[in-house]
């Protein structure tokens, strides 16, 4: 039997396959709530089978951290009813689902009159790449406590909606990644960008708080932008320690992707971030999910056989072919 077809225990869940639908923004919400278009989309992507887990698109935990005008909100209790419907659709197709929760920090597209916040008053390289300059306000301790609470409340809303867990988004240049990257974290307090301990402190505080409030059976994943692939940024050598810290904080799974560089590394073979997922496995006993350009069963199985990862995410290929997971499992 192929590894792809085998079960895997992740937290309190028993996943039936090693294939995961990773978070992909649909940009289908006009008012911040789950609507029929979103429900139809997730139904289409999950009804053919083959997936062991679904991680939803990122949802914002606070209005000031909204990534785009059509992003889904988890910032108020109004979101719970829609999340119940979303969980119901995916559960009816026989697949567990976790909600990815996020704050965009200096990458936010909230009200233009709102002061953007970040770990430090440093221009995010992703803004520079767009040709625009935006210097955020460095967060103080009150900001940090408030945002930490926003993440916890969003996780509680996911639990109230019947979702199986939540994924804390610390990747792709968003707020928690801004704390992790030395390029955007110039702090000199306990959240310092000078050490892995400081750069992961806020993520670990969020994980611990969610675990305490949501309980031991609520799956907690970390979407980890493990390296920036930029001079002076986070590096592969930092990954084992960071992964170990997430495990000690109470995480159940680590999902590996890119940092300030984003989620695409062109010119690499399938499994773009496999060097990083392998490094994460060296630092933790937790299941590690790898996503990045994987489009077929051969490469997915190869990455599992080589112990580069425990789970395989298929994103853009799933957008093209909704039946791909079922085909991969049957090959």
The Cα 132–Cα 51 span in angstroms is: 39
Two structure tokens written together for 182: 């030395």
Question: Residues in the chain, how many?
Answer: 331
DSSP code of residue 47 = T
Helix boundaries (H) for 135-220: 141-160, 175-180, 196-214
Q: CA 216 to CA 236: how far, in whole Å?
A: 30
Is 174 in the active site?
yes
Number of alpha helices (DSSP H) and beta strands (DSSP E) in the chain: 11, 12
Residue where the block lists tokens 């001079």: 231
Max CA distance (Å), the chain: 57
Q: How many CA within 13 A on the CB side of residue 105?
A: 30
Q: Which two tokens stand for residue 53?
A: 């887990």
121: which DSSP letter?
A: S
CB 265 within 8 A of CB 224: no
Where does residue 229 fall: left (phi above 0), alpha (psi -120 to 50 degrees), or beta otherwise? left
- Catalytic-role residue among 41, 174, 180, 191: 174
Q: What whole-number distance in Å separates Cα of residue 202 and Cα of residue 120?
A: 14
Please identify every residue annotated as catalytic: 174
């Amino acid at each position: 039997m192929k590894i792809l077809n085998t079960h895997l225990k992740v937290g309190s869940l028993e996943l039936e396959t090693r294939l995961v639908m990773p978070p992909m923004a649909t940009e289908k919400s006009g008012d911040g709530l789950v609507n029929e278009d979103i429900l139809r989309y997730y139904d289409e992507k999950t009804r053919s089978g083959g997936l062991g887990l679904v991680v939803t698109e990122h949802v914002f935990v606070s209005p000031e951290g909204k990534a785009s005008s059509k992003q889904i909100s988890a910032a108020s209790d109004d979101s719970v009813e829609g999340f119940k419907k979303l969980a119901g659709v995916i559960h009816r197709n026989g697949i567990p689902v976790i909600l990815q929760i996020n704050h965009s920090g200096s990458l936010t597209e909230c009200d233009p009159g709102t002061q953007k916040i970040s770990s430090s008053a440093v221009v995010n390289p992703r803004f520079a790449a767009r040709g625009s300059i935006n210097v955020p306000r460095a967060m103080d301790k009150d900001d940090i406590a408030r945002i930490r609470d926003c993440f916890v409340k969003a996780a509680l809303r996911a639990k109230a909606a019947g979702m199986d867990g939540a994924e804390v988004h610390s990747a792709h240049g968003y707020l928690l990644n801004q704390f992790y990257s030395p390029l955007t974290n110039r702090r000199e307090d306990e959240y310092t960008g000078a050490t892995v301990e400081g750069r992961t402190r806020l993520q670990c505080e969020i994980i611990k708080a969610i675990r305490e409030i949501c309980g031991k059976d609520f799956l907690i994943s970390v979407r980890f932008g493990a390296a920036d692939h930029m001079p002076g940024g986070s590096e592969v050598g930092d990954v084992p320690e960071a992964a170990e810290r997430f495990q000690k904080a109470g995480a159940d799974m680590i999902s590996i992707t890119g940092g300030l560089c984003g989620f695409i590394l062109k010119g690499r073979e399938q499994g773009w971030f496999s060097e990083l997922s392998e490094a994460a496995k060296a630092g933790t006993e937790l299941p590690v999910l790898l996503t990045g350009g994987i489009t077929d069963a051969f490469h997915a199985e190869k990455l599992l056989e080589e112990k580069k990862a425990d789970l395989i995410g298929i994103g853009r290929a799933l957008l093209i072919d909704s039946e791909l997971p079922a085909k991969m499992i049957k090959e």
